[in-house]
Chains A and B, each alone.
Chain A
Amino acid sequence: MSEQNPSGKSARTNAGSINGAPINGESAKRRPAVSFVSGGDRHIRSRLMLSRVFAWLCRFSTYAALAVLVVLLAAIFYSSIGRLSPDFVTNTNSTSPLKAGILAGLWGSFWLILFTAMFSVPVGVGSAVYLEEIAKDSMLVRIIKVNLANLAGVPSIVYGILGYTVFRTSAAAIATLFDGKHVIGILGLFKVRLSKLPIYEDNILVGALTLTLVILPTVIAASQEALRSVPGSIRVASLALGATRWQTIWRQVIPAALPGISTGVILSTSRAIGEAAPLIMLGALTYTSMCPGGIESPLELLTKPAQLLQAPLDQFTAMPIEIYDWSKQPDARFTAVAASGIVVLLVVLLSINSVAMVVRHFASRRLKW
């Protein structure tokens, strides 16, 4: 009998399985151990007791994580009672805790993630392709790799300082340069009626560029891993048929790695949805009842095409910023508002992650080598 599994049934499934395979040493040891214990050897008995206690401690610390997750979700759902309702998602922010809603943050996060993905996917996948498929082992490439590993450890708030100093200042300079007029002049050709196209310095694009820098190391690492899992035989076969290197990459390697790349990219982009610190450093709005571009429903994406140009250049807030703002309100009734915001944020994160899981599931079925 194994020392940490008194019941023989679970011992069979549990004991001595490293990587799922039973260990011969374990089962051979088990039989004499019983006889020693019944023989009353105190030394062995205490060693086995120690081993059993240790196993329970390890099991406890693992399941404590599960318990924390359950308690966290329960506490948030419980706190959200009283405010979580359909109109919480359709209202914008308000000073009244009974009316405050997350619509502005939802749209802000939508635009941010849209542009963050647009910036980070080509650059991230491009870097990964360069590092995995093209680069030779030179000094420069080694510097890039070490640098990427270190960038992944830089706190996101530091990117916020960078974004504030570089991107926001540039946006302010562009805003004074154009002042809305030139853009309208160009648009005039296409007969888009616009009274004014103001460029704000704390706009969606500035936020998205900053978030891009935050998640880029993760996107690159995930894409690299996906590219690495494509077998070399595919590349060799393609090159042997006379394809150039880029043709091989574009038509063979990237399609084969696409499920892995998209899963990794979706997961790392979803991290950006929960980021608040760099956006606050940029000076994103903490209290606003205005959605970027004034677009408040998916239908208005179609009915207000002119506003589509305004949205990326507009001021914004985001879901985690609003949650932060509600959490620190002294009025206790805002606790329910913050908790409701968290529920919406978690639902959004969960749906994005389940898309990634579905992609991974179907891809692992289809592709086999």
Chain B
Amino acid sequence: MTMGKLPAWAVQRVSRRHEKLIQTALFLCAALSVLTTAAIILVLLGNAVYAPGARNAFFEQVSLWEFLTGTHWKPVDGPAGRFGIIPLLSGTIMVAVIASLVSVPAGLGAAIYMSEYAAPREREFLKPVLEILAGIPSVVYGFFALKFITPWILKPALGFLGLELGTFNALSAGIVVGIMVTPLIASLSEDVIRSVPRSLREAAYALGSTRFDVSVRVVVPAALSGILAAFLLAFSRAIGETMAVVIAGGQQPIATLNPLRGAQTMTSFMVHASTGDSAADSISRMSIYAIGIALFAITLTINLISGWILRRYREVYQ
């Protein structure tokens, strides 16, 4: 690493003005992220709450009360249209809860195993496996749920119990979304679990604890804030997950908590509506922005709570 042989004139030419110019350019790059956030909020609010010009914003035609409490979602133009978010919300939450039921035990178990039990070489082999699982695109999981999990695993298993399963169902969508977010929980939890100091473990072992006692009564409580933050991040990821749910979950906006039927989530409605051929300023099209606000607000709130827990309850070890 040498500085390179710069002639004196070259050094002179890179004047303070140049430096300032470059720094300003770099600052603008960094500030672009703030601009992006501002643009997202402006675009969503600008089309849902107040639209300048001749177009009518969504909430100028549908009251906020009807939107939040309505139990029917029939996004068609004209008097037949019903715009209550409850069916989409119930579908979204159902998928996210099923995903959590899959990913929380699996992700936490994997994190504990990799940090407390696995030998270094075993860990080196397992980590890439989880990374690959996390890197597989959402559409692939959708295909897997629709063409494999539903017909080959869930249908026979539930048929054995005498239950009927739809071709499109929230259960298979929730399961694959759970598989998708498991690596996220595993890697985030493993990071916090590994940062628990060794002295705590050694003290517990010295007092006669078994591995179970050390993992469950010492290490996990010490890392609890980070683990909770990971769960919340995974939950918000599951809420925003799109293609897998679009493919496997179906498109019926019904206010139900029955996972064996098809359900429409907020994200799958947005995909469905944008592939339709309604006019750009029709109310069915504008409802995308209203759902977009709800999705953005919910995921942002969960992410902020997750960050707050991480900062507020972080144990600091010296």
User: What is the interface of chain A, defined by CB distance below 8 A to chain B?
Assistant: 2-4, 13-14, 16-20, 23-26, 28-29, 47-48, 50-51, 54-55, 57-62, 64-66, 68-69, 71-72, 75-76, 79, 122-124, 126-127, 129-131, 134-135, 141, 143-144, 147-151, 153-162, 164-166, 213, 216-217, 220, 234, 238, 241-247, 251-252, 255-256, 270-271, 273-277, 280-281, 283, 286, 320, 323-324, 327-328, 335, 338-339, 342, 345-346, 349, 353
Nearest residue (CB) in B for A169 is B280
In chain A, what residue has the closest Cβ to B289?
Answer: A161
Cβ contacts under 8 Å, A160 to chain B:
270, 274
Q: How many inter-chain contacts with C-beta < 8 Å in the A-B complex?
A: 301
Q: Which residues B36-78 have CB closer than 8 A to chain A? A: 36-37, 39-40, 43-44, 47
Q: Are A164 and B274 in contact (CB under 8 A)?
A: yes
Nearest residue, chain A, Cβ from B148: A75
In the complex, the answer to whether A50 meets B210 with C-beta atoms within 8 Å is: yes
A62 & B126 in contact (Cβ 8 Å cutoff): yes
B196 to chain A, nearest CB (A): 10
| B23 adjacent to chain A (CB < 8 Å) | yes
Contact: B32 with A277, CB < 8 Å? no
Contact of B114 with A by CB under 8 A:
yes
Do A25 and B205 have beta carbons less than 8 Å apart?
yes
B230 at the interface (CB under 8 A from A): no
| Given A47-B213, A149-B307, A150-B300, A252 and B1 contact (CB-CB distance below 8 Å) | yes
Write 13 A-B pairs (CB below 8 A) sorted by A numbering. Answer: A54-B216, A62-B114, A65-B110, A65-B126, A76-B144, A154-B300, A157-B295, A158-B296, A242-B11, A276-B242, A281-B271, A320-B138, A327-B139
Q: Which residues of chain B in 167-223 are interfacial with respect to chain A, using CB atoms and an 8 Å cutoff?
A: 179, 182-183, 186, 194, 198, 201-206, 208, 210-213, 215-216
Expressed in whole angstroms, the minimum distance between the Cβ of A308 and any Cβ of chain B is: 27
The one of B32, B140, B292 that contacts A123, using a Cβ cutoff of 8 Å: B32
The answer on a CB contact under 8 Å between B205 and A23 is yes
Chain A positions within 8 Å of B147 at CB level: 75, 79, 327, 335, 338-339
Q: Are B26's CB and A127's CB within 8 A?
A: yes
B95 interfacial contact with A, CB 8 Å: no
The reply to whether B236 and A153 contact each other, CB–CB distance below 8 Å, is yes
Find out whether the CB atom of B105 lies under 8 angstroms from the CB atom of A61.
Answer: yes
Closest chain B CB from A36 CB (angstroms): 9
Main SS class of interface, B:
helix
How near does chain B come to A303, taking the closest CB pair, in angstroms?
Answer: 32
- Provided the pairs A164-B274, A217-B33 are in contact, do residues A57 and B116 lie with their beta carbons within 8 angstroms? no
Q: Find the residue from B106, B267, B274, B300 having the highest chain A CB count within 10 A.
A: B274
A281-B137 contact given A18-B201, A61-B109, CB 8 Å threshold: no
Tell me the complex Cα distance, A16–B210, Å: 11
Residue in A closest to B147 when the chains form the complex, CB atoms:
A335
Verify A157–B119 contact, CB threshold 8 A: no
**Whose C-beta in chain B lies nearest to the C-beta of A21?**
B198
Measured in the bound complex, the distance between the Cα atoms of B33 and A59 in whole Å is 41
Enumerate chain B interface residues (CB-CB to A < 8 A). Answer: 1, 3-4, 11, 14, 18-19, 22-23, 25-27, 29-34, 36-37, 39-40, 43-44, 47, 105-110, 112-120, 126, 129-130, 132-133, 135-140, 142-144, 146-148, 152, 179, 182-183, 186, 194, 198, 201-206, 208, 210-213, 215-216, 233, 236-237, 239-243, 246-247, 267, 270-271, 274-275, 288-289, 292, 295-296, 299-300, 303-304, 307
Which residues of B have CB within 8 Å of A65?
Answer: 106, 110, 126, 129-130, 133, 182-183, 186
In the bound complex, how far is the Cα of B246 from the Cα of A156, in angstroms?
14
Residues from chain B with Cβ under 8 Å of A69 in the complex: 129, 132-133
Nearest CB of chain A from residue B184's CB, rounded to whole Å: 11
Q: In the assembled complex, how far is the CB of residue A269 from the closest CB belonging to chain B, in whole angstroms?
A: 12
Given contacts A153-B299, A327-B247, 11 further A-B contacts (CB under 8 A): A23-B205, A65-B183, A69-B133, A72-B140, A126-B26, A160-B270, A244-B19, A245-B23, A251-B4, A324-B243, A327-B143
